[in-house]
Amino acid sequence: MSNSHASLQPVPASELLDQELARKERLCRKGNLRTGCRELDEYVLLGGLERGSVVGLSVEEEEMGLLIGLQTVANVVAGGRGRGAGHHYAASNRAAAKAAEGADQQPSREPTRTEKRVQDCLERISISRVFDIEGLRQVLGELEDAVSTRPSPVARGMEAGSKLDTVRPEQQVRQRAEVRDSEEEDSLSPPQSPYPQSPTAQPRDGNPSPEGPIPSSLPDLILITHTSALLSSLFTTRDKPTAHESTFLLASHLQYLTRSPILGDPLIMLLNSTTSPFSPAHDDVVTATVNDEPRQAKLPEPTLSSIFNPPPQASHPPGHASYRNKPSFGQVFAQMLDLHLLCTRVPRTKEDVAAAGGGLGSEFVSYVWVVEVLLDETGVYEGSAFDICGARRSREQRWGAVYVDELKGGTVVDAFGERTTRAIKST
């Protein structure tokens, strides 16, 4: 371990800045990826999902998370690559829907053309099935192996004796404060000490841009579903230090993949579940000690709780039910992310709120899905998209309402139509 650390040479800050500026320019040229829902793309995300980042989506119901994730995949493969295709996602979706509708009504019109387009889209999708975290890391490693034999400036730079100018990805993982809002989060909070370096990490030289076009086999988007099931399996089959080390190394690996120009700066999306227990409000706020002296319970981390589920107040009468909805595995999951979205189901109108509170069945209550930004480590550039030296704007606490339109084939769309502005006041 000491020899590994001794081999790392100091890196001038100017070189790191040049690398980051080159990366931002590269991402701007490629353009962002879109979910296909204007409410999310234009208002909540302020331009879509940025390539070269890790995005987490914690959803109350698994099906809704899959819908958003697969709709993003469909928009990528059907809309093509590049900034132009991203800006015209709505037109592309309408054209695809119109073509599909025409094929259903007149199957003998142009079946070959429609089938060919579908086949072309499916050929751009690769599916792997894993059962644990180690299996996931192996699949991600196969992505690196696919391009390891391709000549690149990395190999040439190392052969020429150029010094290392990039820290290994394990050292780039951000350390965030532990969350102690429940016993579950206490037991799963990531340790503060650093872990050994991952064998999958590889240094890069001062000019990471590969020569020639990036192979089309490299993914624009990597969608990882059932992340909570993978983490649950990990923490139930391994001791806590080993489990934390595995999640730490996975986070390092994800950060490395998204920031590698050789791999094409893919967007990685992790689908997670939520925990939403019903608990008495006064028990959440005031707890009793051994000496029967009340003490104030610690409030949940703002980046791990919904703005629509504020902490209960002590003024609530005993027995008042307080609804909690927060991402599963809390900080353990959040440490892997650059952007964290929470998707929860809420009643659509005041009448629906009253009906839900009155105990009426779901068939009498209309619901929408609220997607909000819990954590934003990257932000978006204000002003021109290519002004990469400008200020960045955080998207935390931005939210939007969507629903699944069955008349449009189960597409996630704006819940209340198009709008231009909506203000949120932080509390």
Quote the pLDDT of residue 11: 87
Residue among 421, 423, 349 nearest 39 (CA) = 421
CB 64 within 8 A of CB 280: no
* Structural domains in the chain plus CATH codes: 11-275+327-341 (3.40.50), 277-324 (no CATH)
- Among the listed ranges 29-43, 153-167, 216-230, 304-318, which one has the minimum average pLDDT value? 153-167
Quote the pLDDT of residue 283: 39
Task: Evaluate if residue 103 carries a pLDDT over 50.
Answer: no
Each residue of 148-203: pLDDT tens digit? 655 543 333 333 333 333 344 444 444 443 444 444 444 444 444 333 333 333 33
| C-alpha distances in Å from residue 26, one per residue of 52, 180, 191, 261, 286 | 10, 39, 34, 9, 51
Which amino acid makes up residue 270?
A: L
Task: Evaluate if residue 134 carries a pLDDT over 80.
Answer: yes
DSSP-assigned letter for residue 146: H
Strand partners, 400: 371
**Which pLDDT band, with edges at 50, 70 and 90, does 84 fall under?**
very low
Q: What's the average model confidence in pLDDT over 252-259?
A: 93
| C-alpha distances in Å from residue 1, one per residue of 7, 163, 166, 193 | 10, 19, 18, 15
Each residue of 306-351: pLDDT tens digit? 887 755 554 444 444 445 688 999 999 999 999 999 999 988 888 8
Each residue of 340-351: pLDDT tens digit? 999 999 888 888
> Distance between CA 44 and CA 38 in Å, rounded?
9
> Distance between CA 51 and CA 268 in Å, rounded?
8
Quote the pLDDT of residue 339: 96
pTM exceeds 0.85: no
**Which pLDDT band, with edges at 50, 70 and 90, does 66 fall under?**
very high
**Which pLDDT band, with edges at 50, 70 and 90, does 40 fall under?**
very high
- Higher-scoring residue by pLDDT: 275, 104: 275
